Amino acid sequence: MVTETTAKMDSLGSNQEKGRPNIIFIMSDDHAYQAISAYDDRLIQTPNIDRIANNGMLFSNACVTNSICAPSRATILTGKHSHLNGKTDNHFPFDTTMVTFPQLLKANGYQTAMFGKLHFGNNPKGFDQFKILPGQGAYYNPTFITKNEGTIEVEGYVTDLITDFTLDWLENERKEEDPFFLMYLHKAPHREWLPAERHLEEFSKKTFPEPATLFDDYSGRGSAAKEAEMNLLTHMNWSGDSKLYPEVMDQLGIPDASGWDKGAFQREVGRMSPAQRANWDKVYGPMNDSFVKSYHSMNEVDKMKWRYQRYMQDYLGTIAAVDENVGRVLDYLEENGLMENTIIVYTSDQGFYLGEHGWFDKRFVYDESFKTPLMISWHGKIKPGSKSDEMVQNLDFAQTFLEAANIEAPSDMQGESLMPLLIGQSDKWDRDAVYYHYYEYPSIHMVKRHYAIVTKEYKLIHFYYDVDEWELYDRKNDPKEMKNVYEDPAYASIKKTLHGQLKALRIKYGDSSQISQELLERYLKEVGNTQGSFVRSFKKVGNE
């Protein structure tokens, strides 16, 4: 019997074989869609990233299955939800026995390379070449783990260096005769947000509009939002994040509440060469001086406003370098005739809070962290300037790329190929709900374990483990997600329908209370239940 795939593979003549597209997967770390001008130009202009949207399709409802770094990457590479690929949180290393789509691309004649942040606790499989950051990596003079040269220390700024490696591979290592798959993975704009020297001054002078919910008191939500430790005023590090010199904290009597605030500053700023440090001090010295002068007259509102501006200056400053460097890569592709048959993706491992609900960080299924930027261009296949509001997920990349490369996807992958949407056959796309599950708790930022179903109209969430709370949001009428309507009688029938749909989705994806329980026990055994900024212990309350 001839299977569909064999037929597909047999029908590929050598010319068609050559016609298989190259794929460049550009992903930044923690890049909020609010900070890409193709989505929203109030905070920053990103003309180069926007080129991908202008040449292709912009997705306004792209989302992740689990809003945290390494789990998102594992979902991307395996095409499976966290409970099946095993990478539920940042603590456990990736299970390298999992099949990933780059392995399949490589086995089918693709050249494969990865540069930048992976965060798996082990090296990637299925890559001809890689230079990756150990763990989170550093902004200044970072270390890289390489496939062929062991560990190397490189002088320079991380975003520029990852791009240098990428361009060097395209120019000097890539063979013209075979298609390639390239993962170009930025560390920026991950915490502690250190912009490149050339952007320090420019961004330190900017003032940014505040989000409407900066002073959210979480009154319309349950205990998960109230107990999370992501607030700009109360949980951000003064030195590590807001870049006060440690001695300024001492001088002003600001305590090191997290226990690693000053250490975080030293870890990053301490890496700079004397010349880099001198440029840094030129900008951050005066900023520290003026803060010392005004600190004692500032009330809590003033402090929150100051911290928001400092946060945006540094966070967006790191994005300026990402945008410039994406431009370098796009220019190279254009100048070398590679735009013709290359799929270019720009995305992030998840979204991020830029002061909405008073927060930074991610993890929640609430929109700013659940959604993620996504734009894809492919000359001649995707209509330039097109848009999609379909609920696509990071779960879908593996099957999309395998289909583009004419390779049959393993039957246990759980996504959907985006191909119908990309080529304008949206009638062949029928997903109406997605599934979400976050696990890393108790841990830094203290976002409780939860799972959810999300449709275009509603979001039904269950927080479990040390609580047993449900939340329901009306996404159309309450887009900022300020009011949990779970107990509102007006939503009784919607609630019932969503519960049924959630149950069906969990069965479809193979998730269950039993699996959650096993994963919880694994976590508590290995990580403990006293993580977070402050030591505490937990009593299990809710069955999920």
Among 22, 30, 38, 238, binds ligand SGN (CB under 6 A): 30
Stretch that binds Ca ion, among 30-38, 172-180, 324-332, 460-468 (CB under 5 A): 30-38
In order, the DSSP letters of 122-137 are: SPPSS-SEEEEESTT-
CB atoms < 10 A from the CB of 72, how many?
26
Stretch that binds ligand SGN, among 32-40, 187-195, 338-346, 510-518 (CB under 6 A): 187-195
Give the DSSP letter of residue 89. S
89: contact with Ca ion by CB under 5 A: no
Structure tokens at 415: 């996504």
Asked if 192 and 184 touch (Cβ cutoff 8 Å), the reply is no
Site residues (CB under 5 A) for Ca ion, limited to 32-71: 69
Stretch that binds ligand SGN, among 123-131, 188-196, 201-209, 281-289 (CB under 6 A): 188-196
CB of 541 to ligand SGN, least distance (A): 24
The position carrying tokens 């089918």 is 108
264: contact with ligand SGN by CB under 6 A: yes
CB of 90 to ligand SGN, least distance (A): 5
Please report how many Cα atoms fall inside a 13 Å half-sphere around the Cα of residue 147, on the Cβ side. Answer: 15
Stretch that binds ligand SGN, among 7-15, 189-197, 300-308, 535-543 (CB under 6 A): 189-197
349: contact with Ca ion by CB under 5 A: yes
21: contact with ligand SGN by CB under 6 A: no
The Cα–Cα gap between 160 and 154 comes to 11
469: contact with ligand SGN by CB under 6 A: no
Q: Which does 517 bind (CB under 5 to 8 A by kind): Ca ion, ligand SGN, none?
A: none
CB atoms < 10 A from the CB of 282, how many?
13
403: contact with Ca ion by CB under 5 A: no
Please report how many Cα atoms fall inside a 13 Å half-sphere around the Cα of residue 490, on the Cβ side. Answer: 4
197: contact with Ca ion by CB under 5 A: no
Using DSSP's 3-state secondary structure scheme, residue 59 falls into strand
Cβ nearer to Ca ion, comparing 56 with 116? 116
Cβ nearer to ligand SGN, comparing 80 with 191? 191
Chain CA centroid to CA 109, Å: 29
CB of 89 to ligand SGN, least distance (A): 9
Among 68, 76, 249, 453, binds ligand SGN (CB under 6 A): 68
Cβ nearer to ligand SGN, comparing 191 with 305? 191
30: contact with Ca ion by CB under 5 A: yes
Closest C-alpha to 472, from 449, 502, 440, 509: 502
Q: Which does 216 bind (CB under 5 to 8 A by kind): Ca ion, ligand SGN, none?
A: none
Asked if 41 and 49 touch (Cβ cutoff 8 Å), the reply is no
- Torsion-angle region of 319 (φ positive above 0: left; ψ -120 to 50: alpha; else: beta): alpha
119: contact with ligand SGN by CB under 6 A: yes
146 DSSP β-pair partners? 131
Structure tokens at 304: 């929150």
Chain CA centroid to CA 230, Å: 16
261: contact with ligand SGN by CB under 6 A: no
CB of 362 to Ca ion, least distance (A): 7
Q: Which does 317 bind (CB under 5 to 8 A by kind): Ca ion, ligand SGN, none?
A: none
CB of 119 to ligand SGN, least distance (A): 6
29: contact with Ca ion by CB under 5 A: yes
The Cα–Cα gap between 477 and 327 comes to 38
Q: Which does 511 bind (CB under 5 to 8 A by kind): ligand SGN, Ca ion, none?
A: none
Chain residue at closest Cβ approach to ligand SGN = 69
437: contact with ligand SGN by CB under 6 A: no
The Cα–Cα gap between 259 and 246 comes to 12
In order, the DSSP letters of 263-289 are: HHHHHHHTTS-HHHHHHHHHHHHHHHH
**Would strands 129-133 and 111-117 be described as parallel, antiparallel, or unpaired?**
parallel
373: contact with ligand SGN by CB under 6 A: no
Cβ nearer to ligand SGN, comparing 43 with 236? 236
357: contact with ligand SGN by CB under 6 A: no
Cβ nearer to ligand SGN, comparing 53 with 69? 69
Backbone angles phi, psi at 166, to 5 degrees: -65, -50
The Cα–Cα gap between 160 and 139 comes to 10
Apex CA 149: angle with CA 90 and CA 193, to 5°? Answer: 40
Q: Which does 416 bind (CB under 5 to 8 A by kind): ligand SGN, Ca ion, none?
A: none
Apex CA 544: angle with CA 524 and CA 74, to 5°? Answer: 60
In order, the DSSP letters of 322-345 are: HHHHHHHHHHHHHHTT-STTEEEE
Cβ nearer to ligand SGN, comparing 55 with 90? 90
Binding mask 132-151 for ligand SGN (x = CB under 6 A): ----x---------------
Given the rule CB under 5 A, which residues bind Ca ion? 29-30, 69, 349
Q: Which residues bind ligand SGN (CB under 6 A)?
A: 29-30, 68-69, 90, 119, 136, 190-192, 240, 264, 361, 444-445
